[in-house]
Structure 1
Amino acid sequence: MESCFPILLRSFCFMSLVLQIGYALDSISAGQNITDGQTIVSPSGNFELGFFSRGSSKNRYVGIWYKKLSAGRVLWVANRENPLNDSSGVLKLTPQGVLTLLNHNNGIVWSSNVSRPAQNPIALLLDSANFVIKEGNDNDLGDAIWQSFDHPCDSFLAGMKFGIDRAKGLDRYLTSWKSVDDPSLGDFTYRLDSSGYPQLIVRNRSVVQFRSGPWNGLRFSGFPQLRPNPVYSFGFVFTQNEIYYYFNILNSSVPSMLVLNENGIAQRFSWVDRTHDWILYSSAQTDDCDTYALCGGNGNCNIASSPKCVCLTGFMPKYPSAWEFADWSNGCVRRTELDCLGGDKFLKYTEVKLPDTRQSWFNESMNLQECEQTCLRNCSCTAYSNLDIRGQGSGCLLWFGDLMDIRQFNENSQDIYVRMAASEVGGSSSRKTGTRKSTGIIVSTMLSAVLLLGIMVVFMKYRRDGQIFRFCHQSHGEDLDLPMFDVTTIVNATNNFSEDNKLGEGGFGAVYKGVLRNGQEIAVKRLSENSRQGQDEFKNEVVYIAKLQHRNLVKILGCCIQVDEMMLIYEFLPNRSLDCFIFDREKGVLLDWPRRFTIINGTASGLLYLHRDSRLRIIHRDLKAENILLDNEMNPKISDFGLARSFGGNESEANTKRVVGTYGYMSPEYAIHGLYSIKLDVFSFGVVVLEIVSGQRNRGFNHPDNHSSLLGFAWTLFRDRKPMKLVDPSITSTFNPAEVLRSIHVALLCVQQNPRDRPEMSSVVMMLGSESALPHPKQPGFFSEESVSEASSSSGGKHQQYSANEMTISDVQPR
């Protein structure tokens, strides 16, 4: 009996260990961790979370993969951009409910952003492959503090929401792996685009590669293969707060997932037990006609025809010779111009993929007849269709400008009605004939005068354009090597500078969205004839941004100089500028606190680069919310360098007789005395940070309990130890109190009256990223609106009135 005791003891210890391991199989609690080599497994045993490497790489990642399947595929990766280089990593759940991945130095490699502090948190790996952090006593998983399903990688799984949650500030989309063995961010994204009527779009960086077409009640119009099937069900939700696509597995024994592969192809795979492998079930991109805008504007792609591309009825190739060589990218133009005053009709096309809806308008309550009349009343409307094709159809969808990316199907009952001149659909238009005759007489009469005037203009402008043309290629003795765009290319890309493509307008002129022949989206800044800025600002922009390379600075792609036209071509940033979000109640919820804090830090990094790390020490002089653009990931990019100035190595301050900038962002010493230094940008940065935190403009700030400016209001709250009253209500559920307080504190240090008291951007970046004690801020410049007025009037009366619409000032004379 005695000899059995050690055996029994060992057995008891082993069973206890098994029970302990079993208890922790699918979860970790606060204070617990997972080291490299340990895993947790979902209750059914289907999914596993732990550390992994791919191929021959020694990089280590935390991810989730299929456990039971022999061809286990990684579905989610935590630290995609920050791999560990050894096996010393530890995944830990803090008492506050934050997942942190630590390296061998206890440095944070990755962490989860939580919407609120947690009580007794627990992290669970569910049978859906969703990794969830929840309150320990809360069984409602819909109220999770954080979940991996809100941060997908390259895989879309059953139960996920693919799209936008405005209430929570979430945008769930797929990003490809860099390669089969490298899970870091690749070049391709697959996301729901809601800029017009929602559709799914695959992009290669900023260039559109493929789109699904809009949802028509049954499927996306470009997915005729998306039909009821025995593997999965699917649906689309479109409400005021949420827009998303989803699917659910009908048979749990047949796993299915959608993957955006490293080549940018969206593919659905299903598991086959017989072969113990994944098979390709369907693909979003099936043939050449799925290539975005293969046939250009107003072209129709039919994979069963030869050639694939034809023009819509009533249209002809824009460049017939190019079509002979299968170059269809410039698309088609109308044979007969429209007559908006009553001579237009509509031609019906059936079984098509509806055109690109990013420039569309929609109404859910109209019927098809009301939709037609609405289109006829708008001279820019070029086509209409039902939103929902179920039953007799309902809703209204309108297009404006060229119809892009249409393709023909043989099995899709989607109809579209394209606007045509009456003569193209069997009618006549006497009004059009009369107009043509009148126009011909007028043109014949004035042709000589116009030609002579044109020659004079060209002669007078030649020297100016030649100088600027050469300037775009060479400046300050350095070859800028900036590409030159032909004006025809830009006119085609912007649909002749259509109002529908206009993104905004500033002191330089209007900015338009354009799409080049290769599908790349661009932003075109066009100097207007009555612009307050001109050649100097144009040159300035080229000099200061052409060779600047930083992730937080907008990238210039080239110039366009021709006769009367001066244009700058930039990368297109789809989310436009920061002010479109923080000052808009509806869009503001899309910028939760983590995103806002990222924007603050990114802007600070961009300014630090300008002030210290670029080849020239550059002062922006017009930093404001409108000049901070946001890319696909809501990362900030500083733009508009038309007013920038550079310093030599020994210079620290300069004076100007021409004060430029925007009221509400100028520092006192600059607005009053014309003195500028890097501390001017620091002041403007502080204003922007307070606007980001509060969601309110400094310019025209109004509060019922305070008559100060936003700067004065923030300083008063800080002084009275009530800084959290400044926070935008739309982010109160997502903000980190410590980060918000530090941001307000740093901003107030930046906007102090005396420039010597303000920190440099190197210190600002350090303060934002540390937890060290900060000095107490002094009273800000322009403490109240009254002090602003007094400051302005004290300059000898030489100031002009500041623009009330936040436009750039370029002609204010200081004393």
Structure 2
Amino acid sequence: MLIIAIIFPFHFQTVFSAVDGIRPSQSISDGKTLVSKEAMFEFGFFSLGNSKSRYVGIWYKNIPITIVWVANRCKPINNSSGLLTINSTGNLVLLYQNKSVAWSTSASKQAKKPLVELLDSGNLVLRDEEDKNSENYLWQSFDYPCDTLIAGMKIGRDLRTGRNLRLSAWKNWDDPCPGDFTYGLEFDQKLNTYPEFYLRKGNAKCYRSGPWNGIRFSGGVEQRPNPYFSFESVYSDDEVYYGFNLKNKSLISILAVNQTTSLRQRLTWIKADQAWKPYSNSPRDDCDKYRHCGANANCDMKENPICECLKGFKPTSPETWSLMDWSKGCVRNKPMSSLEKGKDGFIKFPGLKVPDTTHSWVNKSMNTKECRAKCLSSSSCMAYTNTDIRGQGSGCALWFGDLIDIRQFPQGGQDLFIRMPSSELGKVGDNMRVVIVVSVIGGFSGMLLLGFCFCRRGSEGKTARNIETICQHGGQEEDLELPLFNLSSIIVATENFSPYNKLGEGGFGPVYRGKLEDGQEIAVKRLSINSAQGVYELKNEVKLIAKLQHRNLVKLLGCCIQGEEKLLVYEYMPNKSLDFFIFDQKQGKLFEWSKRLQIICGIARGLLYLHQDSRLRVIHRDLKASNVLLDNDMNPKISDFGLARIFGGDQTEEQTNRVIGTYGYMAPEYAFDGLFSVKSDVFSFGILVLEIVSGKKSRGFHHQNHGVTLIGHAWKLHKEGNSIEMFDKHLREADNNVEQVLRCIHVGLLCVQQSPVDRPNMSSVVVMLGSESELPQPKPPGYFVEMDLAKGGHSSTNPESSSMNDMSISLLDAR
């Protein structure tokens, strides 16, 4: 359970809050409010931060300050003299002290008996009280969305009036005037394209939802049928819009656009925690960034690298592509001009967010067969899909020109049929058949043999027999040789697991020092019978470490499974683990800066190898000081891969039902919902950097008893321009490289930013640590303040203020 308390300064003075509507004879002065009948929402004057400027808006009545709508977004009242009243034309107006108009409604016609009401839906409406139909609104705030979409609202386009309803972020936390981030539905009415959501910064596209497919937007995996929300999308001759409703009326959820985090977020109010909990973010990862892989390429977070040309295509610029600059995208192996009528065909690419529909053509009544024929009839048609994934056979979309912004989903997604000349059909078809055969064979073999290590009597330590372990990855079979140790040799080496040889104990179990007959020193990890981690974690560690070879990763020498004993044998690290040095007062004084910097850079290189340069994309998930071992020369080696995953998941698509990790190191998105990615490891690395620099533990750090976390302390000092105070006091007065220290703190803060989208990749981190280039300014971090978990916290949609930004965490499974 994650508790967030993020408060921005907000003040209003309420003299009374007893009415839900006003008539021409009434007015609302500053200090008075309207409250909806069931006290769901409140409407009145408020200020932001320490400003005296007054705004008029709507907020939740019983939830700590969450603004959902602002009337005078760019025209604040400079004092408390503002007045809301109904004028002679029947419109609600906001007046300055001199009676000039700051803001007003624009009723479709003049009411005989105007009435302004605040509904329990959060909609402020103007209607004619004499109209028997109380839902005939002459004006409503729902038609003028700001940065927040609430249940019952809609965003889209009224094709009769041309009105475009979209969300626009605030400029900043103190200014609700529209910023340059917008979120709305877009489509080409002339080409009859399907609507898609776009998050834009100015005119530039940042994120695309994928087109509507009959059930959801193809890139919106969070919109799959669920017990909480129902989604509504209307595409008619009069209007195109999207909205959501709540199946449980006691549930409160909003969708907001955030200028600071550059995200579209869905937040759900958790009453028990008195906090807003993120349900989904967009963009979620690098594959969600618009055109991240360029044209005619597929982005897949499970792969390394994540960008790959579609089959039948090749990099436009092989040189830049090899440097992981994918912006130029891919081109066909054979140009479209090589298509031969009657001989070309299509290759099916399943499970995709289909391409940007800007250059597409749509027919809602065509079936799949007709759609295919239509594409074949045009020499410039690149691809087609059935736009209704419910299997009803209706709906056709055709693409012309490059295929832009495709991503792969592990489940769900749509089938895309890409046109190929006959010469390419044979090549791609053969390859696909090979993949299928190898996958089946490899998967069956893997079930039988994956990760098992057998102990054989008579074999001795280092010269033990090898076992052939078959692992299937990416449609290929690999033979991995791993030395085996028999139990008797391990017992002799560790003196029967003597307490005197015990090096420590983790979530897996105790670790013992030992010496083999040939004199080689080893470390033996012994699975505890009562450990929450078991054979699966042991197999996972064997499988991963056997494939990974890097100077900053601990080396696995072998394994043994015999009876109840399950053992892993590693190279011995004489200098124990990192936490032994940095958190110990005596050892910390001797741990000079040059060694600390060497360790920071070594951990960064090890993570870079795991995330990018190894044969597998590995997410460690439990990076912490005690899992970094030090060799004779104090070189760091990342250890303990029991919780690691080969899968390159993101905050919404790779999820674990059981969050296991270590307090103080978990990234917020992992703690929220078990969502992890390479950026989760980046967050943990940032914590490690701050710990190494300061000599302080992240967990349990309470600066001056004010509850500020280590991250919060670093952030405050950074904002004050006094980051050097973070440096370990034992080394602060020594002759150290201050610029290096400050740079490491700055990089650490970049790594612990709240949003995973903002955190750098490890490749960027390594470059930043080794260069003198200017660094970007970090955004507010996660876990700013540690709160009393029993008391809970509260939240708003604003992630930070100048004074407070509280967040703490409580998890069931911690190590």
TM-score by length of 1: 0.49
Higher RCO (C-alpha under 8 Å, 6+ residues apart): 2
TM-score normalised per structure 2: 0.49
